[in-house]
Chain A
Amino acid sequence: MTWLMDLQVLNNHILSVLIFLPLAMALLVLAIRNDEVVRWITLATMVVVFILTIPLICGFDTTTHTMQYVEGPYTWISAFNAQYYLGLDGISVLFVFLTGLIGIVSVLASWTSVKKSVSGFMACLLFMQTFMIGVFCSLDFFLFYIFWEAMLIPMYLLIGVWGGPRRIYAAVKFFLYTLVGSVLMLVGIIALYFAAGSTFDIQALMANEYSFAFQAVVFLSFFIAFAIKVPMFPFHTWLPDAHVEAPTAGSIILAGVLLKMGTYGFLRFSIPMFPDAANYFAVPIIILSIIGIIYGALLALAQTDLKKLIAYSSVSHMGFITFALFLFNVNGMEGGIIQMFNHGITTGALFLCVGIIYERTHTRELSEYGWVAKLMPLYAVFLFVFTLASLGFPGTNGFIGEILILFAAYEGWEFYLIFLLIGIILGTAYMLYLYKKLCFGAGCASHHGEEPAPMPKTAKTAKDINGREALALFILLIFVFWIGFQPMGYLDIMHESVAHLLDQAGHLPATEVLVEGAGEALGIVGQGGDILLDGLSDAVDSTAPEL
């Protein structure tokens, strides 16, 4: 890819190209009436965007935490010092890459399933691409907020126009939930702007010191915004509705990238800007995460709707991530970030799998299946791999994230291991349940020539996956095993940034604060005890002769 780097425009403005190429193509696509042309143009754009993200990863300097590929800052609204300022560190570069990847998959997923106003749909996907990459690249809060809010509109349209029967309800619910969070975040941003002396520069804001009270308030306003996006328990109720009603591509983007925005927000803003508050609120956040892990998993187990099951599994999986991030140790951070990436790949793939059979049968009820292994064997193999990845089978990407998070929990949070393990086993249970229900059981002539059980009506429309679908699944499959067996490349990229983040986050990692606090408290009690005992013995001594 070196020849790409030789092009000067790309060299200096690669992030801008990444952001504005899809935007320009979206406008172009809107003007074209031929659906087939629209599809190919969109796919080509997504592929180009993805290819452009490869040199970002390959050329990334892993020895430093400073922002790379920086553009700007160029002031564009001088009245309040808003700047056009882009750059990537070892964390955001991974998500730009993931966004590029998910972009291709989402186009492939909607090739034939979307029939209504194709150009509008494809334009929405391209707009999403622009805004998502923009969010990950922004180094200016104002710019960030624009991209963050803008994302809502195409997503709202994707769900509300191309969604399922209850699409309006789901779209409005999604919009309102996220908007409430965003508005709270806006308040926080404005507060920061004035506290730090009229700047939106994220790095400058990080460098500032804030009083604890200020940190706590702004942290909470950010927290709600991000927690809704993740979504963390108890802010998760919009997610199942949005997933169920969204078209396949919408679900893939939602699970693949949008949910990561919340945790990315924690990493980029909450933790480095408000380290004291982050440490202070770590335990409540960890407890919420654990509730999310177990509650989400239990809800997933109870579902009979394919998409709902995977949606609730996301709540559980994202719980692992927020849990890991707020442990404030290296394994936790890296495990959490790699798990964010993994969740994007795996859950994106699972939604794609659901989309593929939904397109054939138009039902998401598990009881209507049971013939998949028999009638769609190739599909069953892909689904099997992604099921294993989702439940953290060793050798897949899920395992790497899982084991790093377990290592992290062992460093001072041993007690919480129990809950993590319960979450893991529940995760295994619902994924295997899902796979079994989809693949086995229907229409089997048991043995000895018995009458075969009747096939569900849906089986009539079964047809194994075609080349396009196989390609989309295969792209994601590569990453399942790549990260599963060779995660070091990914971990190396984020290593310096994580170290820097931990440095910013803490005077002391949260565990040590707790341990020290407990130690101090014990010491005080001990001292008190000593004084008491001394007093007692004195009293005894003084009264002894008389006894």
Chain B
Amino acid sequence: MENIVTDIRPLLAVLVSAVAVLFILMARKLPNLREGVSYVAAGIKFLLILSMVPVVLAGGVVEFTVFEVLPGIELKFRADALGMFFALTASFLWIIATTYSIGYMRSLNEHAQTRYFSCFAIALSAAIGVAFAGNLFTLYLFYELLSIMTYPLVAHHEDDPAWEGGTKYIVYLVGTSKTFLLAAVVMTYMITGTLEFKEGGIFTTAMPVVPVILTYIFFLIGFAKAGIMPLHNWLPSAMVAPTPVSGLLHAVAVVKVGVFSVVRIMLYVFGVEVMGAFGLGMATAFFVSFTIITASIIALTKDDLKARLAYSTVSQLSYIIIGVAMLTPSGITGGILHIACHAFSKITLFFCAGSIYVASGIKKISKLDGIARRMPITMAAFTIGAFSMIGVPVAAGFASKWYLAIGTLEAGSLALLMVLLVSTVLNAAYFLPIIFRAYFKEAPNTEEFLRIKETPFVWVPLSITAVISVIIGVYPDFLLSMIEIIVGNL
């Protein structure tokens, strides 16, 4: 039986950045103080979450019920191993992304920076809120909050492409969540009488098959943030946002909230037993296989660096889902581990893309010839990130892919193993040419090219994430010990 600790820390961790917004707004005339507030909030948030690690590692769960809204529907926070895993990743990366944001936004002299940092902080509150949500109501609340508060970030430039991207973003995300997700929440409540997350799920195999399956499908469609095809198109469109947004939100916070929510409902609403008995696990695995392969193929065709990364993200997100959907211990381990691996590696890649853009104004892959000579740190980090995404040993991505591959064998499905292998080849096919170009192609000998120079605010954060990508690959034990608790309790 799990050991429940009642403590206010999960709520505080969520609120820190929301409160910080007040100070950010107050300090709007003093940019240094304003960004200082972001740092302090990010630091406090991370430490608060870190302080709960011992409890969770000891097999405990930190819970805090704020109040009951309707009978059986509470505003409730619950920091368990799965939530902690995501919250640690997201809050740590906020600290780094803040540094990067300062470098990026100031180098480009972007407008409306107060709005930018405020929305960023609320988005982080929402992401942690989803991580620590104790029931579907709380999860839904923060899920919606995240959609709304990231809109100003996506449409930050306020020009026509930005409005177009922003509109697509909000139509996809809110359009699905206000209909399918809401319907799924209502159906869950009406079928089970509760919205609480529970180990082993709240649905049982004794419940009628058709409504349960329908609810599950509604959830999958409703969580469009997970980027499962055909509801992935908002993500490439959201690339109109400034790069730190693409980095933290569209490689970590927003998309991972989608995937995390899918994992949450698979394991804690439906439960392994129901998922297996109704054949939902394997069906999901095969369904997202399509996304993995197709998104990789589309990525091959993109010349815009951020667009290629976006499609790579779409493909990699489904790795997480495929792992958990296999419902085997190694599969689930691999899937959840990939949340962190992908987060660190993909944010590195996006930061690199932004670094190149800040320094040189280049967005196209075809213009990157010889860029490594002018930007050695950036391209070294990019190489590490790319290797991690391909799954080259020692880099983080290898660890998760290893578990995923074992998972396919445990599930006895060679077809899924083939999907992983084919996608690995495709990953290599779309990443290696970039690296080749940057290092081995003749650089243009123009004056403009020679003026390219990396800025420290930009290269420091991206080297940190790159180094961590390697550390996770070599020493994933800390993360694995957490996942062990998740898997052990299922």
Chain A residues within 8 Å of B, Cβ to Cβ: 388, 391-395, 400, 403-404, 406-407, 410-411, 417, 421-422, 424-425, 428-429, 432, 440-441, 444-449, 485-488, 491
Number of interface residues of B (CB under 8 A): 35
Q: Which A residue's beta carbon lies closest to that of B66?
A: A485
Residues 300 to 325 of chain B near chain A (Cβ within 8 Å): none
What are 10 residue pairs bridging A and B, where the CB atoms are less than 8 Å apart in the complex? A400-B70, A403-B185, A404-B70, A406-B186, A407-B189, A417-B183, A417-B186, A425-B178, A432-B174, A441-B163
Q: A66 to B366, alpha carbons, bound, how many Å? A: 79
Q: CB distance A428 to B174 under 8 Å?
A: yes
Grouping DSSP codes into helix (H, G, I), strand (E, B) and loop, the B interface class, with mixed when no group exceeds half, is helix
User: Which residue of the partner chain A has the closest CB to B152?
Assistant: A440
Q: Is the CB of B67 within 8 A of A485?
A: yes
Contact (Cβ within 8 A) B111 A445: yes
By a CB distance below 8 angstroms, the chain A residues around B171 are 429
Given contacts A449-B109, A487-B70, 11 further A-B contacts (CB under 8 A): A395-B141, A417-B186, A424-B179, A425-B179, A428-B175, A432-B174, A440-B155, A444-B159, A447-B110, A447-B111, A487-B69
Contact between A485 and B69, CB atoms less than 8 A apart: yes
CB <8 Å contact, B190 and A410: yes
Bound complex: CA of A429 vs CA of B155, how far in Å? 17
Tell me the bound Cα distance from A491 to B189 in angstroms: 19
Q: How many A-B residue pairs have CB under 8 A?
A: 82
Quick check: B69 and A444 within 8 Å, CB to CB? no
Partner of B108, one of A394, A425, A447: A447
A432 to B148, CA, bound (A): 9
- Give A486's nearest chain B residue, CB to CB: B67
B140 touches A441 (CB 8 A): no
CB distance from A456 to the nearest CB of B (A): 15
Rounded to whole Å, the gap between the CB of A393 and the closest CB of chain B is 6
**A394 and B141: CB pair below 8 A?**
yes
A393-B179 CB under 8 A given contacts A400-B70, A407-B190, A446-B158: no
Given A394-B144, A487-B69, the answer on whether A446 and B190 have CB atoms closer than 8 Å is: no
Docked complex Cα distance between A398 and B152 (Å): 23
In the complex, what residue of chain A is closest to B114 when comparing beta carbons?
Answer: A377
Which residues on the B side are within 8 Å of A445 (C-beta)? 111
Does B170 sit within 8 A of A, measured CB to CB? Answer: yes
Distance in Å: Cβ of B218 to nearest Cβ of chain A: 10
B198 at the interface (CB under 8 A from A): no
A403–B68 Cα distance when bound, in Å, is 15
Residues in A whose Cβ lies below 8 Å from that of B178: 391-392, 421, 424-425, 428
Residue B187 CB within 8 A of the other chain: yes
Nearest CB in chain A: distance from B176 CB, A: 9
Q: Do B157 and A407 touch (CB < 8 A)?
A: no
Residues of A within 8 A of B75 (CB): 485
Nearest opposing residue in chain B for A391, CB measure: B178
Q: Which residues 147-206 in B have Cβ within 8 Å of A in the complex?
A: 148, 152, 155, 157-159, 163, 170-171, 174-175, 178-179, 182-183, 185-187, 189-190
Interface string of B120-152 (1 = CB under 8 A from A): 000000000000000001001100110010001
Cβ of B234 to closest chain A Cβ, rounded Å: 15
A406 touches B174 (CB 8 A): no
Nearest CB in chain B to that of A402: its residue: B182
Nearest chain B residue, comparing its CB with the CB of A370: B158
Nearest 10 A-B pairs (CB), nearest first?
A: A394-B141, A444-B158, A446-B159, A421-B179, A410-B190, A406-B186, A428-B178, A425-B179, A425-B178, A395-B141
The distance in angstroms between the C-alpha atoms of A392 and B148, with both chains bound, is 13
Q: Which of B110, B137, B174, B183 contacts A394 (CB 8 A)?
A: B137
B69, A486: Cβ atoms closer than 8 Å: yes
A441 to B112, CA, bound (A): 12
A406 partner residues in chain B, CB cutoff 8 A: 182-183, 186
Contacts of B190 in A (CB 8 A): 407, 410-411
Question: What residues on A are CB-neighbors of B183 within 8 Å?
Answer: 406, 417, 421
On chain A, the residues within 8 Å of B68 by CB distance are: 488
- In the complex, residue of chain B having the shortest beta-carbon distance to the beta carbon of A387: B148
- B contact residues around A388 at 8 Å (CB): 148
Chain B hits for A417, CB < 8 A: 183, 186
Nearest-neighbor residue (CB-CB) of A444 within chain B: B158
Give B281 Cβ to nearest chain A Cβ, in Å. Answer: 26
Contact flags B65-98 to A (C-beta < 8 A → 1, else 0):
0011111000100000000000000000000000
Contacts of B174 in A (CB 8 A): 425, 428, 432
Q: How many angstroms between the C-alpha atoms of A445 and B157 in the bound complex?
A: 9
In the bound complex, CA of A478 to CA of B185 (Å): 27
The closest CB in chain A to the CB of B211 belongs to A414
Minimal beta-carbon separation of A65 from chain B (angstroms): 20
- A488–B174 alpha-carbon span in the complex (Å): 27
Cβ–Cβ < 8 Å partners of A446 in chain B: 111, 157-159
